[in-house]
A and B are shown apart, each in its own frame.
Chain A
Amino acid sequence: KQEVTQIPAALSVPEGENLVLNCSFTDSAIYNLQWFRQDPGKGLTSLLLIQSSQREQTSGRLNASLDKSSGRSTLYIAASQPGDSATYLCAVYGDTGTASKLTFGTGTRLQVTL
């Protein structure tokens, strides 16, 4: 059974810092990995999707990397801003099966302070 772990569970950084969020998964037979952002009381917004054949994806100040063989992904946020404060979740989609194979981590709650 696929398990997705995100460490740390919570992180507080001062504005302007670069930071890395970690995601690990136990079954490397994945089709893709997605990073989501969730604001309090809101739904999830997709940030980046990395296909299994890709090593990384970039969008603005965000860069996500994927190392399938080691079961790890990182989300790098450059020059953090207070508006980046949210919970960040990763989810992996298994190589076979159905939508039930989209497995979520429990998230990292990020606070960027002034």
Chain B
Amino acid sequence: NAGVTQTPKFQVLKTGQSMTLQCAQDMNHNSMYWYRQDPGMGLRLIYYSASEGTTDKGEVPNGYNVSRLNKREFSLRLESAAPSQTSVYFCASSPGQGYSGNTIYFGEGSWLTVV
């Protein structure tokens, strides 16, 4: 089973460029999430989708947009990349509507560098 799949794995962007990180899960989960991981900061939630058709802001949403394309796919878009968005991005999913204490499953990460 693939679980949670993210693309691309690595990306270098110039300041001001835009890009979309793609995420897909094959576990029929209702909830999906985008996190960023920075040294010394832990994982921080950017956006999440408690169910198909809904999205909500997390702790650090500024500079990002998301789309829950269908139940399987949840994309994260950087409209105008900034060096502060250099980070490792993780997509995750969990069963149930919203995070109700179930196990959360993570993708393998996307390393983004903005120069």
A residues contacting B by CB (< 8 A) are 4, 31-32, 34, 41-46, 49, 51, 89, 91, 93, 98-107
Contact = CB atoms under 8 A, between A and B. Distances in A.
Contacts, number: 65
B31 interface: yes
Contact of B105 (A46, A49, A89, A106): A46
Contacts of B105: 46
Interface stretch (B12-20, B42-50, B67-75, B79-87): B42-50
Interface residues of B, number: 27
Contacts of A89: 42-43
Interface in B4-55: 4, 31, 33, 40-45, 48, 50
B103 A99 contact: no
A42 B31 contact: no
